[in-house]
Amino acid sequence: MKDFDAIILGAGAAGLMAAMVAGQRGRQVLLIDHADQPGKKILISGGGRCNFTNLGTVPERFISANPHFAKSALARYTPRDFIDLVERHRIAWHEKTLGQLFCDGSARQIVAMLWDECSAAGVELWLGHPAEVERADGAFTIRCGNRSAGAPSLVLATGGPSIPKMGATGFAYDLARKFGLKLVEPRPALVPLTLAGDDLLFRELSGVAAPVIASAAHGPPFREAALFTHRGLSGPAILQVSNYWRSGEEISIDFLPDAASDWLAQAKRADPRRPVRRLIEQRLPARLAETLADRMAIDGPIGGLSDRALDLAERKLRGWRFRPNGSEGFAKAEVTIGGIATDELSSKTMESRKVAGLHVIGEAVDVTGWLGGFNFQWAWASGAAAGASI
């Protein structure tokens, strides 16, 4: 058996960051992953260009049973800190909308950067085998294939069950239960929603997208694109809303985010002979406009419709209600909401309050960011917090 100062399970974003920081502090670090290469989820992120952080990172854009928990780590490792690392490695990047930062080239540059830093710090990497964990006499023992290792510190960075085709599992939750740590019910997040019942007709719009303002009953509004799919609703606005949606609840979509408040009434006064459907098509894709008009049963010249009918139609378009019957689950979820309860952890070190030497970081923790680089920033920040303390 080989001895280390710390063993990190999971060579994703959080695990690589923790290994890098700990290694740079002179710690002997072992990084383990059951996959055949590090950073597999990083490689597919951002369409292969890795949306590696967001300039608008604030605690309010993270969801947790304890909304204050993420503040400490996020304050101590900021988007600027990660940008500085990226620029030291001469990786070109650009900002898209809403503060989202992407590589100009490939996500492989981010993985290579992190591993180069780890390698330079002397981090040892074991790949290709699941780990078995035991704890005795205040130390952890890991068996991995035909090798074993021991350390006084163990960092759990194995993520949640989202995107199982990439090898994601509930390993972190199983280990948490083994050590007596509480869980907040995990559920899919940043995930497409499915439709049924009266909303089934909207599936015929598969492939149609439109800029909207979408909101769930207990969440903020999101102004981004919504996409109709063969199963229901997707697109950035819907993925954001999915973090706040609960089974049985409705979501609301404003299809007129840029229209004046009395847009249809103004149009009636300006040109009463104009077909109302053509007016809606000016604001929305033709197929979507036709479907919405059919559902509202409005047709003909706009001058033939009463002001009350136009007001009702406009209010409907500004707050169209859908009642999803579910989501596409962990298979299509980008991340997981819930996980190991923050009550169990120190917000400064990410160490368990019950099990000395056990740290939990990244997606395994009950901290989930919005779409757009926030979850990577949590991985960097929580990983750096743990790496600085082991």
Tokens 């579910």 correspond to 326
Report the pLDDT value the prediction gives residue 261, as an integer from 0 to 100: 86
Alpha-helical (H) ranges within 27-106 are 40-44, 71-76, 79-88
Report the pLDDT value the prediction gives residue 308, as an integer from 0 to 100: 92
Query: Which tokens belong to 312?
Result: 């009702």
Report the pLDDT value the prediction gives residue 201, as an integer from 0 to 100: 83
* 313-to-104, 201, 233, 269, 287 alpha-carbon distances in Å: 44, 19, 22, 16, 17
Report the pLDDT value the prediction gives residue 128, as an integer from 0 to 100: 95
Q: CA 303, CA 310: separation in Å to the nearest integer?
A: 10
Q: CA 354, CA 357: separation in Å to the nearest integer?
A: 9
Report the pLDDT value the prediction gives residue 154, as an integer from 0 to 100: 98
From 189, 294, 289, 168, select the one nearest 243 (Cα to Cα). 189
- Do 328 and 242 contact (CB within 8 A), yes or no? no
pTM: 0.95
Query: Mean pLDDT for each 10-residue chunk of the chain (390 residues)?
Result: 97 98 98 96 95 98 97 98 98 96 98 98 97 95 96 97 85 95 97 93 93 97 97 98 96 95 90 92 94 92 92 95 96 96 98 98 98 98 98
* 269-to-65, 117, 305 alpha-carbon distances in Å: 51, 66, 12
Instruction: Please give the domain boundaries of the chain with CATH numbers for all domains.
Output: 2-188+333-387 (3.50.50.60), 193-327 (2.40.30.10)
For residue 126, give the H/E element and its range: strand 124-127
Q: Which amino acid is at 67?
A: P
- Do 28 and 54 contact (CB within 8 A), yes or no? no
DSSP annotation of 370: P
